[in-house]
Amino acid sequence: MHGARLARRARRGGRVDRDPAGYAAAMSAASSPTAFADLDNPFWSSLRSRHADLAQVVGETARYPASHAPFLGVAHADVDTGAAFARLVAPGESLYLLGVAPRAPAGWRLEPLGELAQMVRTAPIPLEDGPDLVALDDTHRADVLALTARVYPHYFRERTMAMGRYFGVYVEGRLAAMVGERLGTERFREVSAICTHPDFTGRGYARRLTAWLCNDLLAAGLVPFLHVSHGNPRAKALYERMGFRLRRDIPFWSLRRADD
């Protein structure tokens, strides 16, 4: 959805438009006993489904192109990754694994980085009044990269916007806040890159963007989820106030060659 049409829908304020078929599909996806299994190994699940066209694959190991995201996934913890890592990971490069990691083969360093809170939302979120929301595209790339370099620097890359849809709020010609989609499967979609320029914090822009995108996903029959560091209590508290619930704490690792 683009331009004026997006702005008109976003201006509807606290009203939540309901698509009964879409929400029913999202609830069905969330109610199955095994519904969330894909989220236990989110990088691998996304690389083998929604982003299969981007995946660089060697056997049961896959990664995103370096231009898109520094993420690598394995099918299960017993994968023999020695040859795959050598082919997929460049010298001097650090990649990240989430949820499932193999034993590090000789010559590689797999470092635990703690756990992230994996949170889900299965019901619409009231949308508060605020400025128009803009569908971000290549014409906004420079603004997006400047904002993420300042407040979300570790995982956003030159081509990350090609992984999904991104939306923002502009104030006086400046990108004040943004949100986007990243990982995903047939039933789930990750809400990511939720960030606000320091000059515009406290105005509710990130909440408005997140609520709009979650509602749009739910209406399409998709369950939104996100990851947030326990070291970022302000963001985690925001998501809790919005009604996200903790699904699980999920382990996170970095991977690099031992001699780097």
The amino acid present at 130, given as its one-letter code, is G
Indicate if 40-115+253-257 has the same CATH topology as 3-31+118-248: yes
Q: By CB neighbour count within 10 A (0-12 exposed, 13-18 middle, 19+ buried), where does 172 fall?
A: exposed
Closest CA to 34 of 165, 188, 149, 171: 188
Q: Selecting from 3.20.20.150, 3.40.630.30, 1.10.1740.10, 3.40.50.1000, what CATH number does the domain 40-115+253-257 have?
A: 3.40.630.30
Residue 35 confidence (pLDDT):
77
CATH class for the region spanning 3-31+118-248: alpha beta
Q: Is 221 helix (H, G, I), strand (E, B) or coil?
A: coil
pLDDT tens string 41-79: 999 999 999 999 999 999 999 999 999 999 999 999 999
Chunked into runs of 10 residues, the chain (260 residues) has average pLDDT values of 49 44 59 80 98 98 98 98 96 97 96 98 94 96 97 92 98 97 97 97 96 97 97 94 97 94
Domain positions in the chain are 3-31+118-248, 40-115+253-257
C-beta separation of 250 from 40 below 8 A = yes
Give 160-180 pLDDT, tens digit per residue: 999 999 999 999 999 999 999
Q: How far apart are CA 48 and CA 75, in angstroms?
A: 9
Residue 181 is predicted with a pLDDT of 97
